């Protein structure tokens, strides 16, 4: 029907049909071992442990708050992270963390290139995990390729079913782990399996299972090459001073097998064209073509090439982490700069200072924040009220915020406004005073009506409500508001 | 401008695709088929539309639209939501129905629910006279203040609400009648002026005279009390305070004495259910001027156990 072979790029004058669509070429990365592979194992272990395990950590906050160490409690609008509790009005802490994460990516990119992409990006980690499962079920690269080409038969059906089931299981576990961050994990797990969890929990798990299954099981490197914006941003951030995986063409070219090199010594470089670097690449890229979006700088080709170089008795590092500048310098016979010099260049230091400054500012704000807060809303309808003794009353709705996870006594007081006294909705007017003590429940906002009355002859003026916690902390907050009184009219 | 060639479709050389056979100023269109995903979505939309027309009200007819086999209506949806709301409130409504209003302050949660319900009912039934902020206006009492004609505790407010003020046909309605002293010739204009002076003197707004005091004692003290402090049995306002329902200027008071006022309020017991009336009473009481219930409530509710409940002393 819609045959792409028939479509021709207008004006390209290339004879014959040209494809605008390229079918995905399967990537079947070969097993490899080496320092970078081990580092990748390590990062995968750490990141997956953090992801799957964090919701199960407990953190005692006393009887008035949940005991889950990391909890995004959307229902009650609280965000818990170990000893820190964030209220919705303090969301700037979360925003700050997100900005830090963004600048952190810049920082990492500036210092060590696409290390995020190569090791700790979830897409990379899960793709890596799924590729291990491929090898576990289908065998290594060649077996996988054979199986892919093989016609459908009992064995292929069995292997595919088994593999996709494992994919699904991991995807389900991944989706299931995500929702644990939003509710008490043990309770939610129980509710989930007994059908009592909220529909949104099932929907979230279903969606995340599907995305993990598709993105990790099938889309894989296409996410990095076609979908992800980050590689595109990074191309603007990388320059000849950036640490990236570099094929040292001056040393490798011209490529030739060992036999050829034996026949005509001197003509060929160190690269024996064994294609091992391509075989192990998780995105199927040939690093010898130079830097590219497809290279996520995981270093597996370095492991592969180093092993081959060792076998053929040539020095390691034909493919290596190096800046393009150093590559040129090395080609010219100079010694490359030490890696720490590469890392500590000006741009990196600027990112580091911005990132660190932001972090310190957040920490400072976190350390000095007030756990007591008052907001005042004055009644507008009616703005003031004449009482039978001629005094004038204004009404206010006060919100007293107790951000500690324990009940506290708090004192609300009028500052300014001579002669004024107040009472609240739950006390008699006779008990009116300039100060009222309230019991504010743990981790809650206490809403209080304050009726402020000023003796006859009051004038409109500004005054202040102050709130003080009657505990060893003695925190306080205050807010200014207006007192309205009738004007000159009788 | 349009130049349609009639030699029909031909195969385009460059692409090998058939043209549609039309030409517009030299521009031809290739007859590429629609993408399969697009055409399938299109068919799916058609199927959906047909199913929708069958299932839901869709086609306008002469008097109404087609009904749809699912029987869905927007009114039905509203009724369902209202029912759900009612179900949610059922517990509170039942508790309020059973509880004598004097005991309401003993149950702060129920009190809050009642105040919230009353606020909503007030907006529908009461704002027309008392204003959206319950601040009233001339002749319509302000419900926020601490001045009550017929009593400001929960029970008194509830009674006023149920039976109304000066409602014929309700034998428990709040009733009193001030004579029109001037209009009916009970007092001469000079006497009206003198008694007005006395009334204003009670809140130090005018100079009193012995004649005025004498007239007040003879004509007004029966209801307003010898000191002018008012009397709630008759809804007689306190004349010594700062609040004047019909205005506190000399002219206003002369007008009141001459013609008398007799404000009315509907008997809401005939129009609203007892629970809504209780909610309204709770709301009005909560506006800042509510008084404590002082009578002994216990004998009134022997059936309900212990919890005799005025929170405040």
Give tens-digit pLDDT for A314-355: 999 999 999 888 899 989 988 888 878 878 888 889 999 999
Q: Is A389's CB within 8 Å of B145's CB?
A: no
The residue length of chain B stands at: 313
Q: Is A387's CB within 8 Å of B145's CB?
A: yes
What pLDDT is recorded for position B5? Answer: 52
Instruction: Provide, rounded to the nearest whole percent, the portion of chain A with pLDDT above 90.
Output: 68
Question: Could you tell me if B128 lies within 8 Å of chain A, comparing CB atoms?
Answer: no
Q: What is the mean pLDDT of residues B258-265?
A: 93
Q: What is the DSSP letter of B268?
A: G
Residue A375 scores a pLDDT above 90: yes
Residue B138 scores a pLDDT above 70: yes
Question: Could you tell me if B146 lies within 8 Å of chain A, comparing CB atoms?
Answer: yes
What pLDDT is recorded for position A7? Answer: 44
**Does residue A195 sit in the same domain as residue A99?**
yes
Q: Is A388's CB within 8 Å of B241's CB?
A: yes
Q: Is A456's CB within 8 Å of B311's CB?
A: no
Q: Is A403 helix (H, G, I), strand (E, B) or coil?
A: coil
Q: What angle do CA B130, B131, B134 make, to 5 degrees?
A: 70
Number of Cα atoms under 13 Å in the Cβ half of residue A433: 8
Question: Could you tell me if B33 lies within 8 Å of chain A, comparing CB atoms?
Answer: yes
Cα dist from A483 to A461, B35, B134, whole Å? 5, 69, 19
Q: State the virtual CA torsion across B301, B304, B310, B313 in degrees, nearest 10.
A: 90
What pLDDT is recorded for position B238? Answer: 93
- Counting the structural domains of chain A, the total is 3
Of A2, A381, A386, the CB nearest to B145: A386
Cα dist from A151 to A135, A143, A145, A155, A365, whole Å? 19, 14, 12, 10, 64
Residue B302 scores a pLDDT above 80: no
Backbone phi, then psi, for B35, in 5-degree steps? Answer: -60, 145
From the number of C-beta atoms within 10 Å of its C-beta (0-12, 13-18, 19+), residue A283 rates as buried
Q: What is the mean pLDDT of residues B85-89?
A: 92
**Does residue A189 sit in the same domain as residue A69?**
yes
Cα dist from B44 to B34, B41, B299, whole Å? 15, 5, 73
Instruction: Provide, rounded to the nearest whole percent, the portion of chain B with pLDDT above 70.
Output: 91
Domain end call among A180, A214, A234 = A234
Question: Could you tell me if A432 lies within 8 Å of chain B, comparing CB atoms?
Answer: no
Question: Could you tell me if A489 lies within 8 Å of chain B, comparing CB atoms?
Answer: no
Which residues neighbour A108 within 8 Å (Cβ) at sequence distance 6 or greater? Answer: A115, A116
Q: What is the DSSP letter of A119?
A: I
**Does residue A30 sit in the same domain as residue A154?**
yes
Q: Is A6's CB within 8 Å of B15's CB?
A: yes
Residue in chain B nearest A19 by alpha carbon: B15
**Does residue A195 sit in the same domain as residue A249?**
no
Question: Could you tell me if A1 lies within 8 Å of chain B, comparing CB atoms?
Answer: yes
Neighbours of A271 (CB within 10 A): 25
What pLDDT is recorded for position A26? Answer: 87
Domain CATH number, residue A387: 2.60.40.10
User: Is residue A415 within 8 Å of A463, Cβ to Cβ?
Assistant: yes
Neighbours of A141 (CB within 10 A): 17
Question: Could you tell me if A446 lies within 8 Å of chain B, comparing CB atoms?
Answer: no
Domain end call among A179, A211, A234 = A234
**Does residue A246 sit in the same domain as residue A150?**
no
Task: Find the radius of gyration of the CA atoms of chain B.
Answer: 36
Q: Is B142's CB within 8 Å of A390's CB?
A: no
pLDDT band at A22 (very low <50, low <70, confident <90, very high): confident
Cα dist from A8 to B27, B30, B100, B213, whole Å? 17, 12, 87, 111
Q: Spell out the long-range contacts of A355-359 with Cβ–Cβ below 8 A and sequence spacing 24 or more.
A: A355/A100, A355/A103, A355/A104, A355/A107, A358/A96, A358/A99, A358/A100, A358/A103, A359/A100
Which residues neighbour A387 within 8 Å (Cβ) at sequence distance 6 or greater? Answer: A393, A453, B145, B146, B147, B242, B243
Residue A362 scores a pLDDT above 60: yes
**Does residue A74 sit in the same domain as residue A212?**
yes
Q: What angle do CA A376, A381, A383 make, to 5 degrees?
A: 70
What pLDDT is recorded for position A436? Answer: 95
Per the DSSP assignment, residues forming a β-bridge with B150 are none
CATH numeric code, B89-164+265-294: 1.10.760.10
Question: Could you tell me if A395 lies within 8 Å of chain B, comparing CB atoms?
Answer: yes
B 200-219 residues inside an 8 A Cβ radius of A: 203
**Is A477 domain-assigned?**
yes
Of A1, A385, A456, the CB nearest to B145: A385
Of B249, B286, B313, the CB nearest to A425: B286
Q: Is B241's CB within 8 Å of A449's CB?
A: no
| Residues of B with Cβ-Cβ distance to A6 under 8 angstroms | 15-17
Mean model confidence pLDDT for chain A: 90
Distance from CA of A283 to the nearest CA of B (A): 28
ipTM: 0.74
Question: Could you tell me if A490 lies within 8 Å of chain B, comparing CB atoms?
Answer: yes
In angstroms, rounded to a whole number, what is the distance separating the alpha carbons of residues B262 and B259?
10
Question: Could you tell me if B307 lies within 8 Å of chain A, comparing CB atoms?
Answer: no
In angstroms, rounded to a whole number, what is the distance separating the alpha carbons of residues A78 and A94?
12
**Does residue A217 sit in the same domain as residue A327?**
no
What pLDDT is recorded for position A276? Answer: 94
What percent of chain B is helix, strand and coil (3-state, nearest 5)? Answer: 45, 5, 45
Mean model confidence pLDDT for chain B: 88
User: Is residue A439 within 8 Å of A406, Cβ to Cβ?
Assistant: no
In angstroms, rounded to a whole number, what is the distance separating the alpha carbons of residues A103 and A108?
9
pLDDT band at B2 (very low <50, low <70, confident <90, very high): low
pLDDT band at B20 (very low <50, low <70, confident <90, very high): confident
In angstroms, rounded to a whole number, what is the distance separating the alpha carbons of residues A138 and A131?
10
A 238-297 residues inside an 8 A Cβ radius of B: none
Backbone phi, then psi, for A45, in 5-degree steps? Answer: -60, -50
Of A2, A382, A388, the CB nearest to B242: A388
Distance from CA of A412 to the nearest CA of B (A): 18
pLDDT band at B311 (very low <50, low <70, confident <90, very high): very low
Residue B203 scores a pLDDT above 80: yes
**Is A329 domain-assigned?**
yes
Q: What angle do CA B217, B221, B225 make, to 5 degrees?
A: 130
Q: Is A425's CB within 8 Å of B146's CB?
A: no
User: Is residue A449 within 8 Å of A460, Cβ to Cβ?
Assistant: no
Residue B142 scores a pLDDT above 70: yes
Residue A12 scores a pLDDT above 60: no
In angstroms, rounded to a whole number, what is the distance separating the alpha carbons of residues A123 and A46?
15
**Is A1 domain-assigned?**
no
Residue A183 scores a pLDDT above 70: yes
From the list A290, A465, A253, the residue with the least C-alpha distance to A376 is A465
Q: Is B133's CB within 8 Å of A381's CB?
A: yes
**Is A346 domain-assigned?**
no
Of B133, B249, B312, the CB nearest to A382: B133
What pLDDT is recorded for position A79? Answer: 92
What pLDDT is recorded for position A341? Answer: 81
Residue B188 scores a pLDDT above 90: yes
Residue B307 scores a pLDDT above 50: no
- Least confident range from A233-242, A297-306, A378-387, B90-99: namely A233-242
| Residues of B with Cβ-Cβ distance to A8 under 8 angstroms | 14-15
Residue B296 scores a pLDDT above 70: no
CATH numeric code, B189-259: 1.10.760.10
**Does residue A269 sit in the same domain as residue A170?**
no
What pLDDT is recorded for position A356? Answer: 97
**Does residue A57 sit in the same domain as residue A197?**
yes
Instruction: Choose, out of B39, B146, B283, B292, the residue to mutate when testing the contact with A (most A CBs < 10 Å).
Output: B146
Per the DSSP assignment, residues forming a β-bridge with A399 are A375, A447
Which residues neighbour A93 within 8 Å (Cβ) at sequence distance 6 or greater? Answer: A84, A86, A362, A365, A366
Q: Is B145's CB within 8 Å of A429's CB?
A: no
Number of Cα atoms under 13 Å in the Cβ half of residue A40: 29
Q: Is A230 helix (H, G, I), strand (E, B) or coil?
A: helix
**Is A367 domain-assigned?**
no
User: Is residue B283 within 8 Å of B127, Cβ to Cβ?
Assistant: no
Which residues neighbour A54 within 8 Å (Cβ) at sequence distance 6 or greater? Answer: A69, A70, A181
Q: What is the mean pLDDT of residues B102-126?
A: 93
pLDDT band at B281 (very low <50, low <70, confident <90, very high): very high
**Is A101 domain-assigned?**
yes
Neighbours of A213 (CB within 10 A): 22
What pLDDT is recorded for position B295? Answer: 56
B40-74 per-position pLDDT tens digit:
999 999 999 999 999 999 999 999 889 899 999 99
Which residues neighbour A123 within 8 Å (Cβ) at sequence distance 6 or greater? Answer: A215, A216, A223, A224, A228
Q: Is A6's CB within 8 Å of B16's CB?
A: yes
pLDDT band at A203 (very low <50, low <70, confident <90, very high): very high
Distance from CA of B21 to the nearest CA of A (A): 19
What pTM does this model have?
A: 0.74
A101-115 per-position pLDDT tens digit:
999 999 998 888 899
**Does residue A249 sit in the same domain as residue A225?**
no
- Least confident range from A13-22, A41-50, A479-488, B233-242: namely A13-22
A224-246 per-position pLDDT tens digit:
999 999 998 888 888 888 889 99
Residue B305 scores a pLDDT above 80: no
Of B131, B144, B241, the CB nearest to A385: B144
Domain end call among A310, A337, A364 = A337
In angstroms, rounded to a whole number, what is the distance separating the alpha carbons of residues A230 and A225?
10
Of B14, B33, B243, the CB nearest to A388: B243
What pLDDT is recorded for position A488? Answer: 45
Strand A461-469 and strand B19-24: the pairing is: unpaired
In angstroms, rounded to a whole number, what is the distance separating the alpha carbons of residues A349 and A207?
40
Of B144, B243, B248, the CB nearest to A382: B144
**Is A243 domain-assigned?**
yes
Cα-Cα end-to-end distance for chain A = 88
Residue A422 scores a pLDDT above 70: yes
Q: Is B15's CB within 8 Å of A8's CB?
A: yes
Task: Find the radius of gyration of the CA atoms of chain A.
Answer: 33
Question: Could you tell me if A427 lies within 8 Å of chain B, comparing CB atoms?
Answer: yes
pLDDT band at A19 (very low <50, low <70, confident <90, very high): low
Instruction: Provide, rounded to the nearest whole percent, the portion of chain A with pLDDT above 70.
Output: 95
| Residues of A with Cβ-Cβ distance to B248 under 8 angstroms | 490
**Is A357 domain-assigned?**
no
Neighbours of A201 (CB within 10 A): 20
Query: Alpha helices of A320-458 — where are they, by DSSP H?
Result: 324-331, 339-343, 346-368
Strands (E), chain B: 19-24, 27-30
Residue A6 scores a pLDDT above 70: no
In angstroms, rounded to a whole number, what is the distance separating the alpha carbons of residues A319 and A302?
5
Alpha carbon A418 to its chain centroid, in Å, reads: 54
Distance from CA of A385 to the nearest CA of B (A): 7
Residue A5 scores a pLDDT above 90: no
Alpha carbon A333 to its chain centroid, in Å, reads: 43
What pLDDT is recorded for position B7? Answer: 65
From the list A287, A299, A445, A311, the residue with the least C-alpha distance to A371 is A445
Outline which parts of chain B fall under CATH 1.10.760.10.
Answer: 89-164+265-294, 189-259
Q: What is the DSSP letter of B102?
A: G
Neighbours of A85 (CB within 10 A): 20
What pLDDT is recorded for position B64? Answer: 86
What b-and-e string marks burial along A435-459, b requiring 16 or more CB atoms within 10 Å of the CB?
ebebebebbeebebbbbbbbeeebe
Domain holding A77, by residue range, is 25-234
Alpha carbon B291 to its chain centroid, in Å, reads: 22
């Amino acid at each position: 029907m819609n045959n792409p072979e028939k479509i021709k790029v207008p004006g390209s004058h290339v004879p014959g049909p040209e494809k605008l669509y390229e079918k995905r070429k399967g990537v079947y990365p070969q097993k490899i071992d080496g320092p970078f592979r081990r580092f990748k194992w390590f990062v995968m272990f750490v990141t997956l442990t953090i992801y799957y395990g964090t919701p199960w950590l407990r953190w005692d906050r006393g009887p008035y708050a949940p005991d889950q160490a990391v909890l995004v409690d959307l229902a009650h609008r609280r965000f818990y992270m170990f000893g820190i509790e964030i209220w919705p009005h303090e969301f700037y802490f979360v925003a700050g963390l997100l900005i830090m994460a963004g600048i952190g990516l810049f920082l990492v990119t500036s210092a060590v290139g696409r290390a995020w992409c190569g090791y700790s990006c979830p897409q990379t980690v899960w793709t890596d995990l799924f590729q291990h499962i491929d090898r576990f079920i289908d065998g290594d690269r060649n077996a996988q390729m054979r199986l892919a080409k093989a016609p459908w038969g009992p064995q292929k059906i069995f292997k595919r079913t088994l593999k996709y089931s494992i994919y699904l299981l991991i995807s389900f576990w991944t989706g299931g782990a995500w929702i644990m961050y939003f509710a008490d994990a043990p309770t939610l797990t129980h509710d989930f399996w007994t059908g009592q969890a909220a529909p949104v929990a099932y929907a979230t798990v279903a969606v995340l299972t599907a995305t993990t299954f598709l993105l990790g099981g099938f889309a894989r490197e296409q996410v990095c090459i076609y979908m992800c914006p980050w590689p595109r941003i990074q191309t603007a951030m990388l320059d000849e001073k950036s640490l990236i995986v570099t094929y040292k063409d001056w040393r490798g070219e011209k490529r030739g097998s060992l036999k050829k090199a034996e026949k005509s010594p001197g003509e060929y470089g160190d690269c024996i064209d064994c294609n091992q670097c391509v075989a192990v690449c998780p995105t199927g890229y040939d690093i010898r073509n130079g830097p590219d979006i497809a290279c996520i700088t995981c270093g597996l080709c370095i492991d592969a090439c180093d092993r081959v170089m060792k076998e053929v008795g040539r020095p390691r590092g034909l493919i290596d982490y190096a800046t393009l500048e150093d590559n040129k310098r090395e080609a010219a016979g100079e010694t490359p700069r030490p890696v720490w010099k590469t890392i500590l260049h000006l741009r990196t230091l600027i990112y580091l200072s911005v990132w660190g400054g932001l972090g310190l500012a957040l920490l400072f704000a976190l350390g000095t924040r007030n756990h007591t807060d008052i907001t005042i809303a004055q009644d507008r309808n009616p703005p003031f009220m004449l009482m039978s003794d001629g005094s004038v009353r204004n009404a206010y709705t006060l919100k007293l915020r107790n951000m500690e996870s324990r009940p506290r006594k708090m004192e609300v007081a009028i500052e300014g406004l001579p002669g004024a006294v107040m009472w609240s909705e739950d006390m008699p007017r006779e008990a009116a005073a300039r100060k009222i003590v309230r019991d504010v429940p743990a981790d809650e906002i206490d809403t209080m009506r304050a009726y402020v009355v000023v003796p006859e002859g009051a004038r409109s003026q500004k005054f202040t409500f102050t709130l003080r916690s009657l505990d060893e902390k003695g925190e306080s907050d205050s807010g200014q508001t207006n007192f309205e009184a009738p004007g000159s009219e009788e | 401008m349009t130049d349609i060639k009639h030699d029909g479709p031909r195969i385009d050389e460059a692409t090998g695709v058939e043209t549609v056979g039309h030409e517009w100023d030299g521009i031809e269109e290739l007859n590429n088929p629609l993408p399969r995903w697009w055409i399938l979505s299109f068919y799916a939309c058609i199927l959906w539309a047909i199913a929708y027309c069958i299932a839901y009200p869709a086609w306008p007819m002469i008097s109404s639209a087609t009904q749809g086999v699912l029987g869905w209506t927007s009114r039905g949806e509203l009724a369902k939501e209202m029912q759900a709301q009612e179900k949610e409130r059922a517990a509170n409504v039942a508790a309020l129905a059973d509880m004598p209003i004097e005991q309401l302050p003993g149950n702060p949660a129920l009190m809050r629910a009642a105040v919230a319900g009353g606020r909503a009912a007030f907006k529908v039934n009461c704002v027309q006279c008392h204003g959206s902020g319950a601040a009233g206006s001339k002749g319509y009492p302000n419900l926020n203040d601490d001045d009550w004609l017929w009593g400001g505790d929960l029970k008194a407010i509830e009674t006023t609400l149920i039976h109304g003020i000066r409602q014929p046909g309700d034998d428990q309605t709040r009733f009193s009648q001030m004579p029109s002293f001037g209009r009916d010739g009970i007092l001469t204009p000079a006497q009206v002026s003198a008694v007005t002076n006395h009334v204003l003197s009670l809140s130090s707004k005018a100079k009193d005279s012995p004649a005025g005091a004498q007239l007040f004692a003879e004509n007004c003290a029966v209801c307003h009390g010898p000191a002018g402090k008012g009397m709630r049995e008759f809804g007689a306002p306190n004349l010594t305070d700062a609040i004047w329902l019909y205005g506190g200027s000399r002219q206003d008071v002369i007008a009141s004495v001459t013609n008398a006022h007799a404000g009315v309020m509907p008997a809401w017991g005939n129009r609203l259910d007892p629970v809504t009336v209780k909610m309204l009473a709770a709301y009005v009481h909560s506006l800042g001027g509510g008084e404590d219930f002082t009578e002994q409530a216990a004998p009134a509710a022997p059936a309900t156990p212990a919890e005799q409940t005025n929170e405040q002393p």
